[in-house]
């Protein structure tokens, strides 16, 4: 019987040899990506920038789509094998234009790393009226992956990585009102459902795509303070979530998920390049390893205060029927028919 990760059937550590303290540099050691093409959304800041640097160091050509070209140019200066293009994940037309340019080059696409994301934002809507975290974190990447599908298949062995978060614990995907039209907006609920969508999308994409040589993974990088995700957070919020002390110093403790950028990028690089994952897909990873199911029955927000146990994947993010429903819902919301 063919294996898949519906209901979390494959969510067990595989003995990667790495752990929470591992860095992207350690994970890429010995891996040659010469001749490979990668796209990293948000690849010019934070974890995305570290991902770009690491892939480039292994010989890959890395295409970085950016909304802010000038900022991206400064961040990427001096890194070899980089191509910079314009794209805004909240603008469907710009996604299509970017994808058309990539396809027109005729090149295969070996790695699509859907890394860009926003968090802790006030209620903002895109031109379609969709909530910005859902639009950026999931729907934009769903559309991008769909448009680039033929290039992924052409690679004869590609991976699509969706950078999710432990934040998926905050919310299931709300099919009745995903855009907060009839319920009170709460930023962490919006973030949580978008990150749950990342896990569900990876699960279903892997099952539909593996016969075409395309595997997909999702992951939690860790709580990394030195990224743009914190720009909407107050000092009080940073203090209450346990990532900063009363003196304003960043707290680092990889065992609790409080990581450096290099440690955070390690799981992205692991899911993108590890040969240990050649015959397994649709799994959610963390700490440079396949995560276990989180079967604790408590309020996840209690764990954030003081940072006690930030690990594991929620079973609801791996449900077969929910993954299939999200796929069709994403097609409806984007107007993109993603047929494989």
CB atoms within 10 A of CB 254: 17
CB atoms within 10 A of CB 97: 14
What angle is formed at CA 172 by the lines to CA 266 and CA 242, rounded to 5 degrees? 50
Quote the tokens at residue 55: 């892939």
214-220: strand order across its sheet: 82-86, 61-66, 37-40, 111-114, 158-163, 214-220, 284-286, 289-290
- Coil vs helix vs strand at 312: coil
> Of residues 44, 130, 170, 191, which has the active-site annotation?
191
What angle is formed at CA 301 by the lines to CA 297 and CA 307, rounded to 5 degrees? 100
> How far is 310 from 66, CA to CA, in rounded Å?
30
191 is catalytic: yes
Who's near 122: CB < 8 A, 6+ residues apart?
Answer: 187, 232
- Catalytic positions are 191
């Amino acid at each position: 019987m063919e294996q898949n990760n519906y209901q979390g059937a494959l969510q067990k550590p595989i003995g990667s040899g790495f752990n929470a303290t591992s860095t992207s540099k350690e994970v890429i050691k010995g891996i040659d990506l010469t001749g490979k093409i990668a796209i990293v959304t948000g690849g010019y800041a934070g974890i995305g920038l570290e991902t770009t640097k690491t892939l480039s160091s292994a010989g890959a050509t890395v295409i970085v789509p950016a909304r802010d070209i000038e900022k991206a140019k400064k961040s990427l200066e001096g890194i070899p094998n980089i191509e910079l293009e314009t794209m805004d994940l909240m603008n469907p037309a710009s996604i299509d234009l970017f994808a058309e340019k990539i396809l027109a080059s005729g090149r295969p696409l070996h790695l699509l790393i859907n890394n860009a994301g926003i968090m802790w934002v006030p209620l903002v809507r895109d031109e379609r009226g969709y909530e910005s975290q859902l639009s950026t974190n999931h729907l934009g990447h769903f559309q991008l992956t769909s448009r680039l599908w033929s290039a992924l298949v052409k690679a004869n062995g590609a991976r699509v990585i969706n950078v999710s978060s432990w934040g998926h614990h905050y919310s299931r995907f709300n099919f009745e009102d995903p855009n907060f039209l009839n319920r009170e907006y709460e930023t962490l609920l919006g973030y949580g459902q978008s990150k749950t969508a990342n896990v569900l999308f990876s699960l279903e994409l892997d099952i539909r795509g593996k016969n075409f040589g395309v595997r997909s993974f999702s992951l939690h990088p860790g709580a990394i303070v030195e990224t743009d995700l914190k720009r909407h957070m107050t000092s009080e919020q940073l203090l209450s979530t346990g990532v900063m002390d009363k003196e304003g110093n960043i707290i680092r403790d990889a065992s609790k998920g409080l990581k450096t950028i290099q440690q955070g990028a390690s799981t992205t690089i692991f899911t993108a390049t590890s040969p240990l994952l050649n015959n397994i897909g649709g799994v959610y990873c963390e700490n440079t390893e396949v995560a276990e199911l989180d079967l604790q029955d408590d309020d996840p927000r209690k764990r954030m205060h003081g940072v006690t146990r930030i690990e594991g994947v929620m079973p609801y993010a791996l449900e077969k029927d929910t993954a299939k429903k999200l796929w069709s819902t994403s097609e409806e919301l984007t107007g993109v028919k993603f047929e494989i």
